Amino acid sequence: MQKFGWLGIALVLSWTAGCASHDAQEYGQCEAPDGHLQVMYKPKNPLFTFSHPFCVVCNNAIEPPEHAAWAESMGATSVPVDPELPCLYVYPGEPKDIESLEECHSLVCDGSAVYSDMVSSSNGNLDLSPILGTSALEALGAVETQTEIEWSPWDDALQRQAFDERQLNAP
Protein backbone atom coordinates (compact mmCIF):
# COMPACT_ATOMS: atom_id res chain seq x y z
CA MET A 1 0.00 0.00 0.00
CA GLN A 2 2.92 2.34 0.70
CA LYS A 3 4.04 2.03 -2.92
CA PHE A 4 0.75 3.49 -4.09
CA GLY A 5 1.06 6.38 -1.64
CA TRP A 6 4.49 7.29 -3.01
CA LEU A 7 3.22 6.87 -6.55
CA GLY A 8 0.38 9.30 -5.82
CA ILE A 9 2.79 11.84 -4.36
CA ALA A 10 5.08 11.46 -7.40
CA LEU A 11 2.15 12.03 -9.77
CA VAL A 12 1.04 15.16 -7.91
CA LEU A 13 4.59 16.52 -7.93
CA SER A 14 4.90 15.81 -11.66
CA TRP A 15 1.60 17.51 -12.35
CA THR A 16 2.65 20.51 -10.25
CA ALA A 17 6.01 20.66 -12.03
CA GLY A 18 4.20 20.73 -15.37
CA CYS A 19 2.23 23.76 -14.19
CA ALA A 20 5.32 25.46 -12.84
CA SER A 21 7.26 24.93 -16.06
CA HIS A 22 4.57 26.87 -17.92
CA ASP A 23 5.38 29.86 -15.70
CA ALA A 24 9.07 29.59 -16.63
CA GLN A 25 8.45 31.04 -20.10
CA GLU A 26 10.28 34.27 -20.88
CA TYR A 27 9.56 36.88 -23.53
CA GLY A 28 11.59 39.46 -25.44
CA GLN A 29 11.47 41.72 -28.47
CA CYS A 30 13.98 42.69 -31.13
CA GLU A 31 15.05 46.30 -31.45
CA ALA A 32 14.40 48.45 -34.53
CA PRO A 33 14.31 47.82 -37.41
CA ASP A 34 13.05 44.37 -36.36
CA GLY A 35 10.90 45.62 -33.47
CA HIS A 36 7.92 43.72 -34.91
CA LEU A 37 9.61 40.42 -33.99
CA GLN A 38 8.88 39.09 -30.51
CA VAL A 39 10.43 35.98 -28.99
CA MET A 40 9.33 33.44 -26.40
CA TYR A 41 11.69 31.03 -24.66
CA LYS A 42 10.63 28.05 -22.59
CA PRO A 43 13.40 26.04 -20.91
CA LYS A 44 13.60 22.27 -20.82
CA ASN A 45 11.63 20.73 -17.97
CA PRO A 46 14.34 19.00 -15.90
CA LEU A 47 11.85 16.46 -14.50
CA PHE A 48 11.16 14.91 -17.89
CA THR A 49 13.86 13.12 -19.84
CA PHE A 50 12.41 13.80 -23.28
CA SER A 51 11.61 17.45 -22.64
CA HIS A 52 13.38 20.08 -24.71
CA PRO A 53 13.51 23.88 -24.69
CA PHE A 54 11.41 25.97 -27.06
CA CYS A 55 12.34 29.18 -28.83
CA VAL A 56 9.59 30.86 -30.86
CA VAL A 57 9.43 34.07 -32.89
CA CYS A 58 6.15 35.85 -33.67
CA ASN A 59 5.40 38.75 -35.99
CA ASN A 60 2.35 40.78 -34.93
CA ALA A 61 2.84 43.32 -37.71
CA ILE A 62 1.24 41.07 -40.31
CA GLU A 63 -2.32 40.00 -41.01
CA PRO A 64 -3.41 36.33 -41.35
CA PRO A 65 -3.27 36.29 -45.17
CA GLU A 66 0.43 37.27 -44.90
CA HIS A 67 1.46 34.54 -42.41
CA ALA A 68 2.59 31.98 -45.00
CA ALA A 69 4.55 34.48 -47.12
CA TRP A 70 6.30 35.83 -44.01
CA ALA A 71 7.23 32.32 -42.85
CA GLU A 72 8.65 31.50 -46.28
CA SER A 73 10.58 34.79 -46.36
CA MET A 74 12.13 33.80 -43.01
CA GLY A 75 13.29 30.52 -44.57
CA ALA A 76 10.67 28.19 -43.07
CA THR A 77 10.53 24.90 -44.93
CA SER A 78 7.27 23.53 -43.54
CA VAL A 79 4.52 26.09 -44.10
CA PRO A 80 0.83 25.13 -44.09
CA VAL A 81 -1.45 26.54 -46.78
CA ASP A 82 -3.36 28.71 -44.30
CA PRO A 83 -1.31 29.08 -41.08
CA GLU A 84 -3.19 30.25 -37.98
CA LEU A 85 -0.46 32.04 -36.08
CA PRO A 86 2.35 34.37 -37.21
CA CYS A 87 4.88 32.34 -35.22
CA LEU A 88 7.80 30.06 -36.09
CA TYR A 89 9.89 27.62 -34.08
CA VAL A 90 13.50 28.82 -33.89
CA TYR A 91 16.50 26.52 -34.23
CA PRO A 92 20.21 27.30 -33.79
CA GLY A 93 21.36 25.73 -37.08
CA GLU A 94 23.48 23.14 -35.31
CA PRO A 95 22.52 20.07 -33.28
CA LYS A 96 22.23 21.66 -29.84
CA ASP A 97 19.55 23.08 -27.58
CA ILE A 98 18.93 26.79 -27.16
CA GLU A 99 19.83 27.38 -23.52
CA SER A 100 18.37 30.79 -22.62
CA LEU A 101 16.12 33.69 -23.61
CA GLU A 102 19.29 35.63 -24.43
CA GLU A 103 20.42 32.97 -26.90
CA CYS A 104 16.91 32.73 -28.41
CA HIS A 105 16.75 36.54 -28.71
CA SER A 106 20.22 36.72 -30.26
CA LEU A 107 19.48 34.03 -32.86
CA VAL A 108 16.30 35.81 -33.98
CA CYS A 109 17.36 39.44 -33.73
CA ASP A 110 20.87 38.95 -35.16
CA GLY A 111 19.49 36.96 -38.09
CA SER A 112 21.34 33.69 -37.52
CA ALA A 113 18.30 31.55 -36.62
CA VAL A 114 17.06 28.67 -38.72
CA TYR A 115 13.30 28.24 -39.17
CA SER A 116 11.48 25.12 -40.22
CA ASP A 117 7.89 24.93 -39.03
CA MET A 118 5.12 27.21 -37.88
CA VAL A 119 3.59 27.12 -34.41
CA SER A 120 0.02 25.86 -34.28
CA SER A 121 -2.64 27.04 -31.86
CA SER A 122 -3.12 23.37 -30.95
CA ASN A 123 0.25 23.31 -29.17
CA GLY A 124 -0.95 23.77 -25.61
CA ASN A 125 2.61 23.42 -24.39
CA LEU A 126 3.29 27.12 -25.03
CA ASP A 127 1.60 30.30 -23.83
CA LEU A 128 1.87 32.87 -26.60
CA SER A 129 -0.84 35.17 -25.23
CA PRO A 130 1.70 37.74 -23.92
CA ILE A 131 2.99 38.06 -27.49
CA LEU A 132 -0.15 37.58 -29.56
CA GLY A 133 -2.68 38.98 -27.12
CA THR A 134 -5.59 37.07 -25.73
CA SER A 135 -8.04 38.39 -28.34
CA ALA A 136 -6.02 36.92 -31.22
CA LEU A 137 -5.92 33.53 -29.53
CA GLU A 138 -9.59 33.65 -28.58
CA ALA A 139 -10.45 34.29 -32.21
CA LEU A 140 -8.77 31.00 -33.01
CA GLY A 141 -10.31 29.19 -30.06
CA ALA A 142 -6.79 28.50 -28.81
CA VAL A 143 -7.06 29.93 -25.29
CA GLU A 144 -9.49 27.24 -24.19
CA THR A 145 -7.31 24.57 -25.79
CA GLN A 146 -4.16 25.84 -24.09
CA THR A 147 -5.89 25.99 -20.73
CA GLU A 148 -7.04 22.39 -21.10
CA ILE A 149 -3.64 20.84 -21.72
CA GLU A 150 -0.95 23.28 -20.54
CA TRP A 151 -0.60 21.48 -17.21
CA SER A 152 0.09 18.08 -18.73
CA PRO A 153 3.29 16.46 -17.44
CA TRP A 154 3.56 14.29 -20.56
CA ASP A 155 5.99 14.84 -23.38
CA ASP A 156 4.96 16.66 -26.55
CA ALA A 157 3.94 13.57 -28.55
CA LEU A 158 1.51 12.46 -25.86
CA GLN A 159 0.12 15.99 -25.55
CA ARG A 160 -0.53 16.11 -29.28
CA GLN A 161 -2.19 12.70 -29.18
CA ALA A 162 -4.42 13.75 -26.27
CA PHE A 163 -5.32 16.99 -28.05
CA ASP A 164 -6.20 15.10 -31.24
CA GLU A 165 -8.41 12.70 -29.27
CA ARG A 166 -10.19 15.61 -27.57
CA GLN A 167 -10.80 17.28 -30.92
CA LEU A 168 -12.26 14.08 -32.38
CA ASN A 169 -14.54 13.63 -29.37
CA ALA A 170 -15.65 17.27 -29.16
CA PRO A 171 -19.37 17.87 -29.69
Examine residue 171 and state whether it is found in any structural domain, yes or no: no
Tally of structural domains, the chain: 1
Examine residue 157 and state whether it is found in any structural domain, yes or no: no
Examine residue 93 and state whether it is found in any structural domain, yes or no: yes
Flag whether pLDDT at 118 surpasses 60: yes
Confidence of residue 151 (pLDDT cuts 50, 70, 90): very low
SS3 8: helix
Examine residue 169 and state whether it is found in any structural domain, yes or no: no
- pTM comes to 0.69
Confidence of residue 109 (pLDDT cuts 50, 70, 90): very high
Provide the domain limits for residue 134: 24-148
Mean pLDDT of the 121-129 span: 86
Interval 38-88: pLDDT, tens: 999 999 998 888 899 999 999 999 999 999 999 999 999 889 988 999 999
Examine residue 80 and state whether it is found in any structural domain, yes or no: yes
Examine residue 8 and state whether it is found in any structural domain, yes or no: no
Examine residue 168 and state whether it is found in any structural domain, yes or no: no
Examine residue 87 and state whether it is found in any structural domain, yes or no: yes
* Cβ–Cβ under 8 Å, residues 37 and 30: yes
Q: 51, 21, 53, 50: which is closest to 39 by C-alpha?
A: 53
Question: Which residues have CB under 8 Å from 107's CB, separation 6+?
Answer: 55, 90, 92, 98, 113
Question: Which residues have CB under 8 Å from 74's CB, separation 6+?
Answer: 57, 88, 115
